[in-house]
Chain A
Amino acid sequence: QAQLVQSGSELKKPGASVKVSCKASGYTFTSYAVNWVRQAPGQGLEWMGWINTNTGNPTYAQGFTGRFVFSLDTSVSTAYLQISSLKPEDTAVYYCARYGDMTPDYWGQGTLVTVSS
């Protein structure tokens, strides 16, 4: 059974950076893309983009270019989301999800990133 396990909650100051990990197990990592989704407190889901786990090529949604970087370490079946120059409005739960057959089917448990001085 596929499983995605994300790293723990983070508390960061404005201007700092954070790197969230998403470790996959139970399937061949490079057979499925990884999507990233943001959910601000009390708000809906926002699709941030995805990364091709074969080529490492990322695609970013509007509003998630510049400070957001998707990366991989296929040797440990892990995807990463790095956010730089953090702002208070980046405070949110960030989810990774396995993507195949036009669906994000298995999701990580989410990582809360809090940005506060």
Chain B
Amino acid sequence: QTVVTQEPSLTVSPGGTVTLTCASSTGAVTSAYYPNWFQQKPGQAPRALIYSTTNKHSWTPARFSGSLLGGKAALTLSGVQPEDEAEYYCLLYYGGARVFGGGTKLTVL
């Protein structure tokens, strides 16, 4: 069974920069996995942030960016705001199936 792994938790100071990663048990993540990133705040539905590795939705703040880093998908937040405190999930494509990562709880402190 395919497992997608994210950091369970990260802490960042307001105004700082943080990178979240997303690894696949099948090997290096490439653009062929069409990595997606989502933000979820308590009691809310997930909100799409990044698709196909680097692409932003029209509502995605400029401080969010996606990339590939060391065989993983990555989400970088630059100039973190207090409202960025949330759970972040990645989603990878496996030829028809999709698998979510376990999520990263981002604390802004």
- Where the two chains meet, the residues of A that have a C-beta atom closer than 8 Å to any C-beta of B are 35, 37, 44-47, 59, 61-62, 95, 97, 101-110
Contacts and interface: CB of A to CB of B under 8 A. Distances in A.
**Interface range on chain B (Cβ under 8 Å from partner):** 20 to 34
B51 interface: yes
Interface of B: 1, 34, 36, 38, 40, 45-48, 51-52, 57, 87, 89, 91, 93, 96-103
Contacts of B91: 45, 47, 104
A45 B100 contact: yes
Shortest 4 CB-CB distances between A and B: which pairs?
A103-B51, A102-B34, A45-B100, A44-B103
A7 B88 CA distance: 26
A97 to B, nearest CB: 8
Contact of B47 (A59, A102, A107): A107
7 contacts: A35-B98, A45-B38, A102-B34, A102-B52, A103-B36, A104-B36, A109-B45
A47 B89 contact: no
A31 to B, nearest CB: 17
A97 B52 CA distance: 17
A101 B52 contact: yes
A61 B100 CA distance: 12
A45 B44 CA distance: 13
A13 to B, nearest CB: 26
A107 B46 contact: yes
